[in-house]
Amino acid sequence: MSESNYKDGVDEVRRRKDIAIYKANPKNTGSVAQFKMANNNDCMFLEVAKQCGDQKGSKPYDWANKIIVKLGEADICKMLAYFRLYQPSSPLKLYHETPKGGGNKGIELKWQEYNGRQSYYLTVSHQKGKGELPNKVNVPIGLDEVEYLVVGFTKALGIFLGWD
């Protein structure tokens, strides 16, 4: 096996997947959150969308009206630190101004207990202009999904820093 073939095989094995949290429901009031590495490995993108159709259908989410937020090292570190707190009493709030007057985006992450289960609740909003109602997407995140995010965020930081 030549060195170039070996490198191609290694790249194939190391191909990354997006982290996705799907929360469709029979009432069509669910949502989805996807965390994706940027092509140049310098950030992650969080994409969220509301459910707009049958959870068993081919297109249950409204991707045409999704919200995209660029997450840098500081955002990832803040989210990791928040996940490591024991039942934090205050939510984590992150704000981003969209370049060129595209409005403001916010992320709120809070710990909650729902029906006796510990979990987190992610709210992502985008307000395009002053006086406009923001587009909001809410995504419940279970503790098992938090573990998935912690592993992904930790690995992403290593990639951002070139430590992979």
Give the whole-angstrom CA distance, residue 22 versus residue 48: 10
Q: Which pLDDT score, from 0 to 100, does residue 100 have?
A: 74
Q: Which pLDDT score, from 0 to 100, does residue 122 have?
A: 98
Give the whole-angstrom CA distance, residue 39 versus residue 99: 20
* Per-residue pLDDT tens digits of the chain, which is 164 residues long: 444 444 444 444 456 789 999 999 999 999 999 999 999 999 999 999 999 998 888 889 999 999 999 999 999 999 999 999 999 999 999 999 877 777 899 999 999 987 888 999 999 999 987 778 889 999 999 999 999 999 999 999 999 988 86
Q: Which pLDDT score, from 0 to 100, does residue 8 have?
A: 47
Reading the block at residue 67, the tokens are 């919200």
51 secondary structure, DSSP code: B
Q: Which pLDDT score, from 0 to 100, does residue 12 have?
A: 40
Domain coordinates of the chain in residue numbers? 18-151
Residue 161's alpha-carbon distances to 7, 18, 51, 110, 112, in angstroms, are 21, 19, 35, 28, 32
Residue 92's alpha-carbon distances to 75, 109, 118, 144, in angstroms, are 10, 5, 17, 19
Assigned fold of 18-151: Transcriptional Co-activator pc4; Chain A (2.30.31)
Dihedral sign (CA 41, 38, 42, 149): negative
Q: Which pLDDT score, from 0 to 100, does residue 164 have?
A: 66
Cβ 54 vs Cβ 28: under 8 Å: yes
Give the whole-angstrom CA distance, residue 59 versus residue 40: 29
Q: Which pLDDT score, from 0 to 100, does residue 2 have?
A: 41
Give the whole-angstrom CA distance, residue 119 versus residue 123: 13
Rg of the Cα atoms in the chain = 18
